[in-house]
């Protein structure tokens, strides 16, 4: 596992106090985090600073965002080597019972047969259901 400093250096994002704690928090969590999740976890950091940090991270491929339909965008740290290209795309799982969203890094998206002349750039693939913990 890389440290926050290493990741930011690789992705060419300047290291600041807010960026370090936001990235550290994201790395420490198993499930994807919303802006509010992060705000709640970091009591002394302003929401707008976290918001702008997330934008910066996303622009620089430090993290990727997930629209899981819960009304709040979730964020997760990109895997090592990820460049957010089509080849790096993977599915996400949203548990409709416990509200947990996370990356299925092991479930890459299969080749999708798009209509003639369409170009794939990105994807937001969210599978919904019950996680193992809630499916009992």
Partner DNA sequence: CTTTTACTGCAACTCGATTGCAAAGATTAC
Partner DNA sequence: GTAATCTTTGCAATCGAGTTGCAGTAAAAG
Question: Contact positions toward DNA, by CB under 7 A?
Answer: 14, 16-19, 34-36, 44-49, 51-53, 55-56, 71-73
Closer residue to Zn ion, CB minimum distance, 83 or 132 = 132
Find which of Mn ion, a second copy, Zn ion, none residue 17 binds, CB within 5 to 8 Å per kind.
none
What region does 103 belong to: left with phi over 0, alpha with psi -120 to 50, or beta?
beta
Whole-angstrom Cα distance, residue 55 to residue 65?
A: 10
Q: Is 68 in the site for a second copy (CB under 8 A)?
A: yes
**What are the contacts of 33-39 at 24+ separation with CB within 8 A?**
33/74, 33/75, 33/76, 34/70, 34/72, 34/73, 34/74, 34/75, 35/72, 35/73, 35/75, 36/72, 38/75
Whole-angstrom Cα distance, residue 104 to residue 109?
A: 10
Site string (67-106) toward Zn ion, x via CB under 5 A:
----------------------------x-xx--------
Indicate the DSSP class of residue 61: T
Closer residue to Zn ion, CB minimum distance, 110 or 115 = 115
Find which of Mn ion, DNA, a second copy, none residue 53 binds, CB within 5 to 8 Å per kind.
DNA
Closer residue to Mn ion, CB minimum distance, 15 or 69 = 69
65 CA to centre of own chain: 4
Tell me the closest approach of the beta carbon of residue 56 to a second copy, in angstroms: 19
Q: Using CB under 8 A, list all residues that contact a second copy.
A: 67-69, 91, 93, 96, 104, 107, 110, 112-132, 135
């Amino acid at each position: 596992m890389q440290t926050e400093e290493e990741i930011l250096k690789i992705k060419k994002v300047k290291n600041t106090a807010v960026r370090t704690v936001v990235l550290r928090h994201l790395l420490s969590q198993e499930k994807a985090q919303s802006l509010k999740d992060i705000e709640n976890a970091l009591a002394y950091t302003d929401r707008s600073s976290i918001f702008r940090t997330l934008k910066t991270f996303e622009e620089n491929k430090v993290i990727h965002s997930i629209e899981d339909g819960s009304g709040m965008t979730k964020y997760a740290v990109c895997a090592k080597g990820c460049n957010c290209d089509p080849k790096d795309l993977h599915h996400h799982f949203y548990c409709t019972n416990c509200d947990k969203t996370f990356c299925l890094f092991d479930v890459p998206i299969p080749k999708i047969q798009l209509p003639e002349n369409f170009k794939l750039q990105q994807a937001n693939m969210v599978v919904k259901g019950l996680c193992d913990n809630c499916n009992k």
